[in-house]
Structure 1
Amino acid sequence: MSETLNADPAELAKFSDLAHRWWDTESEFRPLHQINPLRLDWINAQAPLAGKRVLDVGCGGGILADSMARQGADVLGIDLATKALKVAQLHALEAQTPRVQYREISAEQLAAESPESFDVVTCMEMLEHVPDPGSVVRACATLVKPGGWVFFSTINRNAKAFLFAIVGAEYVLNLLPRGTHEYAKLIRPSELAGHCRSAGLDLCRTRGMEHNPITRRYWLSDDTSVNYLFSTQKPLAGA
């Protein structure tokens, strides 16, 4: 693997080891299956997906990419975890998902290859797993067309997020495998907003995502203290 590639080999290995469980809704990836309808509806409400060319950065096993394709988008999912991509490709074949493809390539590499090629770019639950999240944000901004949308979701960095997203989710409730998240890699909304501004993206909306561990219900709110989502837009040329 190139030393300049914006990826952590340990993170790639972590998700590759679990790849065969991506589509098991009762596995370690159950939270992703549970929050996916919320993410999908939030994206689709702001940037209707039907007929759009969409890129999902850090697609993993394809949960979001698959659902966006079923909304009528032409979707490309990219990731650097080989085994997870193979699972995504196999699921697309088995489920006969129309208009979804997968590639093993970084966002930065694809940005150099195909700038301004997508109407919508999504990068969900991925930025907290790379050494340089700002580089990924810049790549997403390069990849989207002028006037297009870029959506991010990640985890805040504060005491509450440490308690809920790491201690609670990974060690108490066992919602996620232990070691899924590193506190130092979590990203404050102000930091992500700075990355977006530096990349030339306009921040449009921010939402938080909350969870009740007793009812297992997730919902969107104004509370961005733990999990949160950004919607951003690339200005039209000359705007």
Structure 2
Amino acid sequence: MFKHLLSTNRSRTIYNRYLSTKSTVDPAQTRIFETLSKKWKREGEGFKLLWAMNDLRVSWVQNRLIEIGTISRSTTANKSNSLQGISILDVGCGVGIFAKPLSRLGADVTGLDCNSEMLKVADVHKQNEGIANLKYILSTIEEHSVAYEEKYDVVIASETIEHVLEKELFVKNCIKCLKPGGSFFLTTNSKSQSSKFLFITLREDIIRDLPKGTHVYELFVDIEDVKDMLKKENCEISFTSGIIYNPLNKKWYWIKNHHILHYAVHAVKRQNLNNLDHL
């Protein structure tokens, strides 16, 4: 309904102010994760599925950046600095489960989260290891994107979008933080009955290792919807895959089917970005 308003700079400013009044933050989810932060006092504790996922997703980021030419294959031969010179924003970083291993590979990593309790734990972990190229910021993505537009080579939203409101606004501002030619990486639950059973029925209702309400099925998002959001932000979908967890060996694997449990998306922001073309 705003298409006719965007013909002038002033109208575009009004529209951007309209967007800025909306929030991606779900207060109910924030309260739950404040409670969960207590489980992450030491590395490896709490949410072991996420720690195990690092074996898959860290190498995924490296390999995709090689494939599109952001880093050279020879660089990864030295694993201690394979991401040297790459700036990364980890949106919804929590206690830094994904941010820390990326910083260990030499990347300049900014962990962003709106949950102060999570970031307190993350900062303790960081201080204990003396990691200089990792910092944490307490903020929302819509606030952060105002000051850090087109600042990052890589933006990551791993296990985050299923916990936020206003998903289109979330994706829009993630891409806003990304440099033209930069990479956006996303992983999340599939919007499927099998995913609902595992994360809600089994873990929250039966096993009860997660508080009730940690996952809300209505907040899960289908991969086709994510792809559509990214295309609207002038991104090219570079990679998609399903992901599944094997409880016997406690490892994650790539699979062709996107609709069983989890999926991953890698998109590249086009160089000739004009985000307003689709409005």
TM-score, normalization by structure 1: 0.92
Deviations 1:103-157 (A, max 9, x none): 0111111111111000000001000111111111101111100110000111111
TM-score, normalization by structure 2: 0.80
Asked if residue 214 in structure 1 is aligned to residue 248 in structure 2, the reply is yes
Distance 1:112 1:125 in 2: 23
Asked if residue 232 in structure 1 is aligned to residue 267 in structure 2, the reply is yes
| TM-fit CA distance, 1:175 | 5.6
Cα gap change, 1:165 to 1:223, in 2 (>3 Å) = farther
RMSD of aligned alpha carbons: 2.0
| TM-fit CA distance, 1:24 | 4.1
| TM-fit CA distance, 1:174 | 4.9
Distance 2:224 2:129 in 1: 40
Q: Which residue of 1 aligns with 2:4?
A: none
Matched-pair contact (CA < 8 Å) for 2:44–2:51: no
Cα gap change, 1:23 to 1:193, in 2 (>3 Å) = farther
The count of aligned residue pairs is: 238
Asked if residue 17 in structure 1 is aligned to residue 51 in structure 2, the reply is no
- Rg larger for: 2
Q: In proportion to residue count, which structure has more helix?
A: 2
Asked if residue 187 in structure 1 is aligned to residue 221 in structure 2, the reply is yes
Cα gap change, 1:224 to 1:23, in 2 (>3 Å) = farther
Q: Which residue of 2 aligns with 1:77?
A: 111
Distance 1:140 1:36 in 2: 21
Structure 1 gap ranges (5+): none
From 122, 126, 148, give the equivalent of 1:114. Answer: 148
Stretches (4+) displaced over 6 A: none
From 5, 20, 24, give the equivalent of 1:6. Answer: 24
SS in 1 for 2:98: helix
Structure 2 gap ranges (5+): 1-19, 66-70, 72-82, 275-279
Distance 1:146 1:26 in 2: 35
| TM-fit CA distance, 1:170 | 3.4
Matched-pair contact (CA < 8 Å) for 1:31–1:175: no
Cα gap change, 1:173 to 1:206, in 2 (>3 Å) = farther
Matching residue's letter, 1:77: G
Structure 1 range deviating more: 20-29 or 34-43 = 20-29
| TM-fit CA distance, 1:215 | 3.0
